[in-house]
Amino acid sequence: MRLIGRPIKHSAFMLIEMVISMAILILMSQLLVATVGVLQKAIKVTQQQQNTINWHISTIQLDQFLADAYFTHHQDQDGSKITFRKPDTNQSGEEAETVYYLKRMKNEMVVVSQLDGYMPLLGNLKQLQLDYQRPFVQIDATFTDQSRYQHEVFLEEQDEQAKKKTIKTD
């Protein structure tokens, strides 16, 4: 098209420029997708490592807490609950026993006392199964990321503990 003898130039992308810009866009999107995938895997591995660390810490805390306790009852309705007693001193300084429950509350494994004490041991649980097989409490926990852990905690019955005390005093 000419206006008064001069050609009019239209500035526009050429086909080769469009192809190159599309190729660059595709490469950048592929790099972004790959980076997101690597980050998701790293997050999953980190979460599993954190669950493993939390699991070991909570089982050590539970083992130490149950060192002088004894089993009294196992209840298996709406999830498991282990009842145990532990020697303690009350506010007046007299020796007494406190009743505790090892159970699941929401998505946590906790120890709760009859006096409304609360000690969280483990979080992010999808499922928790507690079973008493003399003289061990068997714990089977599944986290929300589907990792599963098992542990046995020594917890003898009151009769066995009383027998040991009489043997020691003789």
For residue range 154-165, what is the model confidence (pLDDT) as tens digits? 888 876 545 555
Q: What average pLDDT score do residues 33-47 get?
A: 94
In the chain, what percentage of residues exceed pLDDT 90? 35
Q: Are 100 and 81 in contact (CB under 8 A)?
A: no
Judged against a pLDDT cut of 50, whether residue 152 lies above it is answered with: yes
- Among candidate residues 109, 11, 134, the one with its CA nearest the CA of residue 57: 109
Work out the number of other CB atoms within 10 angstroms of the CB of residue 8: 7
Query: pTM for this structure?
Result: 0.69
